[in-house]
Amino acid sequence: MQGYLRSMRLLFKDEPVVPIHGLPRLPILKQLLICLAPWPKGRVQGPPGVFLSDHGGWLNDMSNVSQFGV
């Protein structure tokens, strides 16, 4: 089994994971960094009018998607 896994790693060029050095490797500090980090404030940026349109419901959305052949 180990030989099979080794050959799969070689096939997909899977590199060994390098551990994170420093304070972010500790789970408590990592959680504090995520919770206390200054995240961007404001609205989501996108092309004009994209987030202003109202969708017509699930069935209408599905019919629109099926028109594209998806």
**Among residues 37, 5, 13, 39, which one has the least CA distance to residue 24?**
37
Q: Which pTM was predicted?
A: 0.29
Residue ranges of the domains in the chain? Answer: 1-34
pLDDT in tens, 25-57: 788 888 888 888 887 777 777 787 777 777 778
Maximum distance among all alpha carbons in the chain?
55
Amino acid code (one letter) for 47: P
Cβ(24)–Cβ(32) below 8 Å: no
Q: How confident is the model at residue 5 (pLDDT cuts 50, 70, 90)?
A: low
* Phi and psi angles of residue 44, each rounded to the nearest 5 degrees, phi first: -70, 135
Element (H or E) spanning 66, and its range? helix 58-67
pLDDT tops 80 at residue 3: no
